[in-house]
Amino acid sequence: MIEWELHGMEFGNCNCSYGCPCQFNALPTHGDCRAVGFFRVDRGHFGEVRLDGLNAAIAVAWPGAVHQGGGTLQPILDRRGDPAQRDALHRIITGQDTEAAATFFWVFAHMCDTIHDPIVTDITIDLDMEARRARCEAAGVATGRGEPILNPVTGEEHRVGIVLPNGFEYTRNEVGRGWSESTGAVVNRLEDSYAHWCELHLTGAGVIREGDPRRTAVG
């Protein structure tokens, strides 16, 4: 396997209720699972190929819970990348060059019966994890928007997060609500449902956690 590492940010929106039962090993709110995710690479590499400053996205859908399989995945790659960079991003987000079940990319890909050829387009990602806000677009393919959950009585912004010390996607996130759409091979329309913001710090062996010296620099 080729060694790789990504350090960046993610905005993801799925069709579950704000808490997302999947984060707690429970079945999805509506029985099925549909999601759109955007990934910003601040620093990263795949072997000798640098990935700094690139973006990627996915649209995905399963007829039941993720772990029950049968899903369909549409990878979306940043037009700004050269062929080697796009190939590297594609391999990472489809779970290749990754230890079994080490990352959510691996789990998603291996729970899908169909992985479509990647779409290459312009991807813009504007997100603020602290503020729980995001506006993202993969031109012609997918959009995503995120906002804080509002208190139903006072209308004030409600702040909540999830801690997963052993998670394969993140160790801590910020939770809000989101609206997303995807077209083409995976059609999703998500409205005022679970959204999260999280730091991405992954390798082919999994999440880099607190105390790991690799948190200070990407090789």
pLDDT 10s digits, 110-134? 999 999 999 999 999 999 999 999 9
Evaluate if residue 214 carries a pLDDT over 60: no
Number of structural domains the chain divides into: 1
- 8 Å CB contact between 167 and 207: yes
Helices (DSSP H) in the chain: which residue ranges?
Answer: 83-93, 104-110
Evaluate if residue 23 carries a pLDDT over 70: yes
Which range of residues forms the domain containing residue 63? 4-216
Mean pLDDT taken over the chain:
96
Which 3 state secondary structure label does DSSP give 109?
Answer: helix
Tokens of 36: 């759109």
For residue 92, what pLDDT is reported?
A: 98
pLDDT 10s digits, 151-186? 999 999 999 999 999 999 999 999 999 999 999 999
Evaluate if residue 218 carries a pLDDT over 80: no
Taking residue 62's Cβ as centre, other Cβ atoms within 10 Å add up to 22
The 8-class DSSP code of residue 47 comes to T
pLDDT band at 34 (very low <50, low <70, confident <90, very high): very high
Taking residue 104's Cβ as centre, other Cβ atoms within 10 Å add up to 22
Give the whole-angstrom CA distance, residue 117 versus residue 135: 25
Q: Is the pTM of this model over 0.85?
A: yes
Partners of 87 in the β-ladder: none
Evaluate if residue 217 carries a pLDDT over 60: no
